Amino acid sequence: MENSHSLSRRELVTAAAGLAALSRSARAAAPRPRLRLAVMSKFFQFMDVPHMAEAVAGMGFDGIDLCVRPGAHVLPERAAEDLPKAVAAIRGAGLEVPMITSGIVDTGTPHTVTVLRAAASLGIRHYRWGTFRYDPQQPIAAQLEGLKPRVAELAKVNRELGVCAMYHTHSGIGQVGASIWDLWLLLRDHDPRWVSANLDIAHATVEGGLGGWIHSTRLILPLTRGIAIKDFRWGKNAKGEWRPEWCPLGEGMVDYKRYLGMLKSAGFNGPVQMHYEYDLGGADRGAATVTLPPQQIYAAMRKDLDLIRRRLVEADL
């Protein structure tokens, strides 16, 4: 496929329309879960917002988690002007914007108030926030104490604007929140209406392995207001080192049956985001051009979407 942006827009939208026509009756007949499923806009950086909205609607998602951060569809410094236009295009395609993914780390992040005011004015009450990192040369306990005032200040701003920050959990050395208990320590004294967790269960499983993810999920769920969905398995890289490998949903190690049962018991009802970080020809990395045919990208996304919907219905979510 030629990778010029102008050509790929037409091909991608045509492919989405064809997919929608083929699957519309099947989707209408299938049971629908109560939880609504949004896809992160990072995976559509090769399209503008109106074409992205058409494609996402054609695949059958309920909404878009719109990125408002450097290099994204909406730039933070342009949020007041461009976020209303982007949201109007997405809602015009029959989709929701349940949240935005921001680059906000704390109140010192440039354009924080601009972004949050723009989101609140559009009725968007949730945003993804983070990430703090540890200094390997300093004691962890002291660093967590130093982070608490930054969390408190962000909670104050969120309360004034009526929005909720959801700290996204990653895996890896140096990531605050990877172990979950440290994030709980930062959040436990605050109202989760203003600062909360965005629990990525694949990252939690990377860190938690056999049983740790179960305990950490139990700990953080009362403070969780959003979740991210993806899957992984362990594999060796070219150097023979064991590393997490992202893969299609259901082909990895995440125990979604048990996890969704825990969400059900906790009464979870927040934004659900679909992530696609296995190879999709560059779409997985947020690339400006893609190297796979659009039909292949959309089919992979739809396959994961249909699978998690079935699992949610089974879990009565």
DSSP bridge pairs for 274: 39, 229
pTM: 0.93
**DSSP H or E stretch at residue 231:** strand 231-236
Residue pair 286/45 in contact by the 8 Å Cβ criterion: yes
Give the mean pLDDT of 102-128. 98
DSSP, res 221: G
CA distance 172 to 165: 22
First to last CA, the chain: 40
Give the mean pLDDT of 113-127. 98
CA distance 267 to 168: 20
41-50 tens-digit pLDDT = 999 999 999 9
Q: Which amino acid is at 268?
A: F
Give the mean pLDDT of 170-179. 97
Give the mean pLDDT of 92-100. 98
Residue pair 267/276 in contact by the 8 Å Cβ criterion: no
How large is the C-alpha radius of gyration of the chain? 19
* CA distances from residue 290 to 59, 90, 222 in whole angstroms, order as listed: 18, 22, 39
115 alpha-carbon distance from chain centroid: 18
3-state secondary structure of 204: helix
For the chain, domains (ranges, CATH) are: 5-314 (3.20.20.150)
Give the mean pLDDT of 227-247. 97
**Is residue 6 scored above 60 in pLDDT?**
no
Q: Which amino acid is at 212?
A: G
83-87, 115-119, 206-210, 224-228: least confident range: 206-210
Q: How confident is the model at residue 20 (pLDDT cuts 50, 70, 90)?
A: low
Give the mean pLDDT of 21-45. 80
Q: Which residues contact 232 (CB under 8 A, 6 or more apart)?
A: 202, 205, 206, 244, 245, 246, 247, 252, 253, 254
